[in-house]
Amino acid sequence: MRLVLISNRVAIPTESGPHRAGGLEVALAPTLKRYEGIWFGWSGKTVPRDQVTTTTVEKSSQTYVLTDLSEEDYQDYYNGFANQVLWPILHYRIDLAEFTRRDLTGYLRVNQHFADELSKVIRPDDLLWVHDYHFIPLGDELRKRGHRNRIGFFLHVPFPAPEFITVLPHHERLLASLLQYDLVGFQTEQDVQNFVRYAVSETPGANVRVFQTTDRQVVLNKDGRQIRVGAFPVGIDTAEFERRARRAAYSSFVQEVVNSLGGLDLMIGVDRLDYSKGLIQRMEAVDLFFSAWPEWRGKLTYLQIAPKSRSEIQEYHELGQQLDALAGGINGKFGEASWTPIRYVNRAYSRSALAGLYRAARVGLVTPLRDGMNLVAKEYVAAQDPNDPGVLILSRFAGAAAECRDALLVNPYDSESVASAIAQALEMPLSERRDRHGHTLATLAENGSGVWGARFIEALGQLELVGSDAEFWQRSAL
């Protein structure tokens, strides 16, 4: 059995390390080591339509198949429908969705292109694992081309309640295609419940039946087909990340940052520059904190690392300008010649460098307005010195909150409560910090990155063992 991974971007190993595809690369690394197969995705290149090609790269005993996109396809599919329609709606930002029929047509066209190119390389017994909102209809396109492989889909971002997702134009056409997958995975149980509610109430003519299986997966029955739906929260290798952080703490880069603080405490936030991350509200909370707790002025520095992305999209450009102004305003209000309250940088750092900074930080501030999981929260916990750990302040609307219950959970929309949580974290006694850290780390260690991939693939791979429909429903019905 080969495993075929499909995602928008692909992380091809190079001599200097993997060519990064973001958090997906980190999450899939253990799976790639365990299974032979193919990673299929966009090459990252846009070319004239008549020059679009698909190439194969062999690296580290893995096969990478990369396809180009035309500039029109890239704009309609990626900048258009994926990131100006699906992304905001899936993150409950209906007000930011900008729908055009052209973008939807381009999105469907790229999914058809991927299906055509995949059809050239997949074998009948391959196991297919499709990743994220870019490829919701891909399973349906593959079925139309006659493929009967076991195909799984995993959504890395939230799936909203039906009351939100139904504002998506033509949602019944697009989201019904998820029922062509054999296994649909989400980050949290809440996402699963939202999808099941949607499938039962909104899928036209689906005749959906719901059963609860012994492994806590919901099973939908559509026209005699069975579709399993389950929560598979993405994890990290906590032991590996702790070792990475311990080594990085003594690196020249981290030591330089720590020394530049002059003995002040460090609070850190690391987020892609995106409106879903709650960075505006977070800056406002920092402003309130220094106003209400003046004794911490000159004693604490907040480092916000926010690499820019999708800058060609107007909302992201405007967000960057707002944050520049907020950070500058706070520094102007509270700063001294010898102290700057906020260090705000828009560049990316290596995972090792970030691990060392996490370990040095007394507070980790992770307050997205909505997030599928958020691995920064988990990495911050794993990076801590267990003898003297920092405190995680985490949005209750991040998927990670389900596992990080001993963090200080906050409502990111309530800047006053976030400011209070910062004060609580800074004043927390060592015994309480150790207890909270130990409980959270133990939970995260049980659901490492290898566990996540193995659980999903095992669930997908076992579907052929179910037997006849009649036998299955008899065993599974409550």
- Supply the residues annotated as catalytic: 156, 371
Q: Is the distance from CB of 391 to CB of 385 less than 8 angstroms?
A: no
Q: Is the distance from CB of 217 to CB of 193 less than 8 angstroms?
A: no
Give strand ranges (E) for 61-165: 62-70, 127-131, 150-154
Q: Is the distance from CB of 222 to CB of 336 less than 8 angstroms?
A: no
C-alpha 155/C-alpha 198 separation (Å) is 15
Exposure string (b/e) for 425-438, b if CB count within 10 Å is 16 or more? bbebeeeebeebbe
Question: Helix, strand, coil proportions of the chain in percent (round to 5)?
Answer: 50, 20, 30
Long-range contacts of 324-330 (CB under 8 A, 24+ apart): 326/280, 326/283, 326/284, 326/287, 327/283, 329/287, 330/283, 330/286, 330/287, 330/290
C-alpha 6/C-alpha 3 separation (Å) is 10
Listed in sequence order, the DSSP H helices in 125-207 are 138-144, 162-165, 171-174, 189-202
The residues, ordered by sequence, that sit 6+ positions from 323 with a Cβ below 8 Å of its Cβ are 273, 279, 280, 283, 306, 344
Find the radius of gyration of the CA atoms of the chain: 23
Q: Is the distance from CB of 299 to CB of 293 less than 8 angstroms?
A: no
C-alpha 418/C-alpha 365 separation (Å) is 9
Sign of dihedral through CA atoms 395, 399, 402, 406? negative
54-59 and 62-70 beta bridge pairing: antiparallel
Listed in sequence order, the DSSP H helices in 155-260 are 162-165, 171-174, 189-202, 238-248, 252-260
